[in-house]
Amino acid sequence: MPKDSLTITDNRTGKTYEVPIQYGTYSKDGASIRAMDLRQIKVATDDFGLMAYDPAFLNTASCKSAITYIDGDRGILRYRGYGIEHLAERSTFLETAYLIIHGALPSRHELDEWTRNITVHTMLHESIKKFLDGFNYDAHPMGILVGTVGALSTFYPDAKNTHEPAGRLLQIYRLVAKMPTIAAFAYRHSRGLPYIHPQNDLSFSANFLNMMFQIDPRYRPSPALERALEVLFILHADHEQNCSTSAMRAIGSAHGDPYSTLAGAAAALYGPLHGGANEAVLRMLAEIGSIQNIPNFIKRVKAGDGVRLMGFGHRVYKNYDPRAKIIKAIANVVFEVVGRNPLIEIALELERIALEDDYFVSRKLYPNVDFYSGIIYQAMGIPVDMFPVMFAIPRTAGWLAQWQEMLLDGEQKIARPRQVYVGADHRDYVVLDRRQ
């Protein structure tokens, strides 16, 4: 009779242990043992007990989560059970953010309330503008975003009370609402343009485009670009336990306020291996310059001399990233409005060559979400250094949902991994003039 347990024999002692196997929603990819069950495995009673060694958490589940599901082999992504393709086709960003944070699609009334509550919190305190003015004109907008979100914690001292549901929800409204405003203000600051205040009769995306690009007060964002941006925001809203989300959970587990916590998550997103990859893709495409140079570039990537094909590969997806498929499709919608970005030809050819090359095929390296997103953002007139910021705006919803889930999870405690110490054994201190 099969049993849902694992029998472990410790060959050091000959002792056998049985540890239960637990499952998530799917037994195929949710089977795990509790790492703490290994602690009973000891050679002597005063041993610490066995640990699992897992640098970079390649095979460690740090939480149970009901928010996002990814099947990396089959290229499936779902928020709260809903397929990303359906949400991208039918939902709006704010509805998806509600779904991610509250766990279910809203009723009409719930959506109206949610939208109203986000909309009324889009303004920034006037002092934040002075704070923004302190940044150099050429400061990277992601650095500005990280610093400004962190600074918001000083404006809302009530946010420290993370255990009160209504207070938590208020900070969620504020953060989802203010991220686009901070992002747009960071851009306007870099261009020396006056800040454009949020306009409450516009949708989440149209308001963002307006704050970015309005010069003439008669400016109205194109409905096609507004919808394309909604879709891009939906695709980036959450992605389970990635680097920045794990940072959000780890920092939040110390029960600090969500502004400081989210600044930490955004800082994690900034790196080129994570949310900074979209920026790196554009710089890579520009450096390649033309289709003729692709074979030589691929050669350099394969030689492993520090060059990666940015926008390719993923820790979880070993198949085409479903978000990249959707983004590739909406590129054409955007190009119809603003004209074709010439870099798309290089990207398409790069993808074609890579997907036929054994180096990429054998390692299951496929385009990820960042491969095509930058090309669209650039076509829309968004500068390259704003790309990680464009990622952070919608991911705020995911970070907050994961943060709240962590706080409400009775099994969670302050995050504190173990280590395997490999340093020196005990040494006696030697005074300075006696050292060799």
Which residues in this chain contact ligand CMC in the complex, by CB under 6 A?
Answer: 239, 242, 273-275, 277, 301, 308-315, 363, 365, 368-370
Q: Which residues of 71-104 are buried (b: 16+ CB within 10 A; e: fewer)?
A: bbeebebbbbebebeebbeebbbbbbbbbbbbee
Q: How far is the CB of 364 from ligand CMC (least distance, A)?
A: 8
Alpha helices in 120-239 (DSSP H): 126-133, 141-155, 165-191, 204-213, 223-235
**Cβ-proximal residue to ligand CMC, closest one:** 313
Check if the beta carbon of residue 261 is closer than 8 Å to that of residue 403. Answer: yes
Query: Which amino acid appears at position 192 of this protein?
Result: G
Q: How far is the CB of 235 from ligand CMC (least distance, A)?
A: 11
Residue numbers annotated as active site: 274, 314, 370
Give the relative orientation of helices 165-191 and 204-213 as an angle to the nearest 10 degrees.
Answer: 30
Q: How far is the CB of 302 from ligand CMC (least distance, A)?
A: 8
Kindly tell me which of 198 and 275 has the beta carbon lying closer to ligand CMC: 275
- The two structure tokens encoding residue 134: 């302190």
Query: Which amino acid appears at position 74 of this protein?
Result: R
Kindly tell me which of 229 and 350 has the beta carbon lying closer to ligand CMC: 350
User: Which of 205, 201, 229, 191 is closest to 377 using CA atoms?
Assistant: 229
Kindly tell me which of 125 and 302 has the beta carbon lying closer to ligand CMC: 302
Q: How far is the CB of 356 from ligand CMC (least distance, A)?
A: 15
Kindly tell me which of 197 and 302 has the beta carbon lying closer to ligand CMC: 302
The answer for 41, left when phi > 0, alpha when psi is -120 to 50, beta otherwise, is beta
Kindly tell me which of 147 and 374 has the beta carbon lying closer to ligand CMC: 374
Output phi, psi for 5, to 5 deg: -150, 170
Check if the beta carbon of residue 266 is closer than 8 Å to that of residue 431. Answer: no
First to last CA, the chain: 66
